[in-house]
């Protein structure tokens, strides 16, 4: 049930966007064992200058290909699982696109089952 928001530059191609999206999704399937059909993402293609970042942070250099990935998911994953997810996403994106692993910034936000509705105004994952 993760919800993924990807913020990237408009200069990246439709194929790059698809490859980035699939890299994130397949990593969630592999590391968090989410169902393949649990695919909820929004890609925000940003104008030059709308993605702000330092040239380097924690000794990691950043370029104009920098992208932000915000993953909202239920609480309960271990720090090791999160680290494995971050590594898998960055390496898959770097292998499939012109974006280097240095330019993949991931923000993970946790919530609870009652914080999700998949339509009809119902929190489907809350048992009554």
Q: What is the CATH number of the domain that holds 56?
A: 3.30.429.10
**Using CA atoms, how far apart are residues 69 and 7, in angstroms rounded to an integer?**
6
Domain encompassing residue 76 = 3-115
pLDDT the model gives residue 128:
67
Task: Let me know if residue 125 belongs to a domain.
Answer: no
**Using CA atoms, how far apart are residues 124 and 113, in angstroms rounded to an integer?**
9
**Using CA atoms, how far apart are residues 111 and 126, in angstroms rounded to an integer?**
13
Question: How many domains, the chain?
Answer: 1
Residue whose C-alpha is closest to residue 100's, from 112, 92, 108? 92
pLDDT the model gives residue 122:
86
Reduce the DSSP state of residue 41 to 3 states and report it: strand
Q: What is the pLDDT along the chain (128 residues), one digit of tens a residue?
A: 899 999 999 999 999 999 999 999 999 999 999 999 999 999 999 998 999 999 999 999 999 999 999 999 999 999 999 999 999 999 999 999 999 999 999 999 999 888 888 888 888 888 76
- Length, in residues, of the chain: 128
Residue whose C-alpha is closest to residue 113's, from 105, 122, 102? 122
**Using CA atoms, how far apart are residues 41 and 52, in angstroms rounded to an integer?**
22
CB 97 within 8 A of CB 12: yes
Task: Let me know if residue 128 belongs to a domain.
Answer: no
Torsion of CA 50, 91, 39, 122, to 10 degrees: -70
pLDDT the model gives residue 118:
83
Task: Let me know if residue 28 belongs to a domain.
Answer: yes
Residues catalogued as catalytic: 2
Range 74-103 burial, b when 16+ CB lie within 10 A, else e: beeeeeeebebbbebbbebbbeebebbeeb
Task: Let me know if residue 110 belongs to a domain.
Answer: yes
């Amino acid at each position: 049930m993760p919800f993924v928001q990807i913020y990237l530059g408009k200069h990246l191609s439709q194929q790059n966007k698809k490859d980035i999206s699939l890299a994130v999704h397949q990593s969630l399937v592999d590391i968090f064992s989410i169902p393949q059909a649990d695919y909820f993402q929004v890609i925000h293609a940003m104008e030059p200058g709308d993605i702000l970042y330092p040239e380097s942070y924690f000794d990691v250099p950043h370029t104009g290909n920098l992208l932000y990935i915000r993953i909202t998911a239920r609480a309960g994953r271990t720090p090791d699982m999160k680290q494995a997810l971050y590594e898998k996403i960055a390496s898959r994106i770097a292998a499939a696109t012109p974006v280097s692993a240095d330019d993949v910034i991931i923000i993970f936000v946790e919530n609870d089952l009652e914080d999700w509705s998949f339509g009809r105004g119902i929190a489907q994952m809350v048992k009554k």
